[in-house]
């Protein structure tokens, strides 16, 4: 018997970087998912087959042994080793697992791929050992794995990957999660440039320390955008959402986290009729998002591709983590 679990990626609509200090971020689950199939082993190793990401290997006593791909990839995979071990510890079982990881979420570009993989691993291993984990437990245990990759992440990615839908996150406050009333027409543009969230957060902190009188005001303004933006989202006021996205992008540029490639995709999307466009996530590369009337979405996608971006059409998704038992013979 094995267990398949899936979890969604995400995009940040408003509030990245300011959320590190104060004010909410608004985050949306998307219909690009990561999938993990877990099965039990006789020994205590954690085997990870992540062949479509280009690497596979196993952990024994927390030491990584590469089977294919570079040995340093163990750093990416150690989150899954830790998440699996935390689940077993939580359930009071000892054992080993095989994990087959497949993901439709591009890596390291701000779309929550590592959180989705961690959440799916946690849920799959939990179900494999009949743990009946609640969603809250899945989010918390997977966070232990994510910390290995991101140091001190805000915790929004693992929560949105677990619960799906729309999430409002503010430091020191409980998460608020909402179901979607209707779809919203978004396009993602990927610059394909990978970046480190941690480095970008450090750069903003440094700018803030040098110029608190200006940067504090920018952070407050972004926080206000998130609050007004959530209301516009519930009212499905696309024009308002678009205006707020444009302003949010300008403020993120002022914080120094946009790049020429991101700006090109943002302006291309606006030229092709987007109501609003902004970078999403930490910036420094990664992705931008645009909102538009349905009839303009194809033009925007072409504009993104003409400007060397990868265009990804997404739907928002209410579906958080899912698990399914697979008996041998099933697929
Ligand atoms: O690019 P991502 O998805 O890692 O987003 C980072 C969002 C920040 O606000 C910059 C950092 C955080 O932990 O909230």
Q: What was the pLDDT predicted at 121?
A: 97
Q: What was the pLDDT predicted at 330?
A: 61
pLDDT exceeds 90 at position 54: no
**143 Cα–ligand 1 center, Å:** 14
**16 Cα–ligand 1 center, Å:** 6
Identify the sign of the CA torsion 298, 185, 156, 115: negative
Q: Is the CB of 140 under 6 A from ligand 1?
A: no
Q: Is the CB of 215 under 6 A from ligand 1?
A: no
Name the CATH architecture for the domain at 185-315. Answer: 2-Layer Sandwich (3.30)
How is residue 170 written in tokens? 């503010």
| Cα–Cα nearest to 49, from 97, 109, 106 | 97
**The ligand 1 atom nearest the CA atom of 155:** 13
- Are 275 and 239 in contact by the 8 Å Cβ rule? The answer is yes
What span, in angstroms and rounded, lies between the C-alpha atoms of 76 and 89? 21
User: pTM score, two decimals?
Assistant: 0.92
Q: Domain 2-179 maps to which CATH number in 3.90.70.10, 3.30.230.10, 3.90.190.20, 3.30.1280.10? A: 3.30.230.10
- Are 46 and 97 in contact by the 8 Å Cβ rule? The answer is yes
Assess whether 216 carries a catalytic annotation.
Answer: no
pLDDT digits (tens, 9 = 90+) for 187-239: 999 999 988 888 999 999 999 999 999 999 999 999 999 999 999 999 999 99
**153 Cα–ligand 1 center, Å:** 7
Question: String of b and e for 22-40 (b: at least 16 CB within 10 Å)?
Answer: ebbbbbbbbbbbbbbbbbe
* Domain map (residue ranges) of the chain: 2-179, 185-315
Percent with pLDDT over 90 in the chain? 83
DSSP string, 91-160: HT---EEEEEEEESS-TTSSS-HHHHHHHHHHHHHHHHTT----HHHHHHHHHHHHHHHHSS--SHHHHH
**The ligand 1 atom nearest the CA atom of 283:** 1
Testing ligand 1's pocket by substitution, the residue of 203, 282, 286 carrying the most ligand atoms inside 8 A of its CB is: 282
């Amino acid at each position: 018997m094995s267990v398949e679990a899936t979890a969604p990626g995400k995009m940040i609509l408003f509030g990245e970087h300011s959320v590190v200090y104060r004010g909410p971020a608004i985050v949306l689950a998307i219909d690009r998912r990561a999938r993990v199939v877990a099965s039990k082993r006789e020994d205590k190793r954690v085997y990870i087959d992540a062949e479509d990401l280009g690497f596979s290997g196993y952990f024994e006593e927390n030491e990584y042994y590469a089977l294919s791909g570079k040995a340093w990839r163990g750093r990416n995979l150690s989150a899954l080793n830790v998440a699996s071990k935390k689940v077993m510890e939580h359930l009071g079982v000892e054992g080993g697992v095989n994990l087959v990881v497949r993901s439709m979420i591009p890596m390291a570009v701000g779309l929550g791929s590592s959180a989705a993989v961690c959440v799916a691993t946690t849920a799959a291993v939990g179900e494999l050992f009949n743990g009946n984990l609640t969603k809250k437990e899945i989010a918390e245990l997977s966070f232990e794995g994510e910390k290995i990759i991101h140091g001190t992440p805000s915790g929004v990615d693992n929560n949105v990957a677990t619960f799906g839908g729309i999430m409002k996150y503010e430091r020191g406050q409980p998460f608020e999660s909402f179901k979607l009333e209707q779809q919203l027409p978004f396009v993602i543009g990927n610059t394909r440039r990978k970046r480190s969230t941690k480095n970008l957060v450090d750069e903003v902190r440094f700018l803030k320390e040098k110029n608190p009188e200006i940067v504090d005001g920018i952070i407050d303004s972004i926080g206000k955008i998130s609050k007004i933006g959530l209301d516009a989202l519930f009212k499905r006021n696309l024009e308002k959402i678009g205006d707020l996205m444009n302003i949010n992008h300008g403020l993120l540029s002022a914080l120094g986290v946009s790049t020429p490639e991101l700006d090109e995709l943002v302006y291309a999307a606006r030229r092709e009729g987007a109501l609003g466009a902004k970078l999403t996530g930490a910036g420094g590369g990664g992705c931008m998002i645009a909102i538009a009337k349905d009839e303009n979405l194809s033009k925007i996608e072409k504009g993104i591709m003409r400007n060397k971006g990868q265009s990804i059409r997404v739907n928002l998704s209410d579906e958080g983590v899912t698990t399914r038992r697979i008996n041998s013979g099933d697929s």
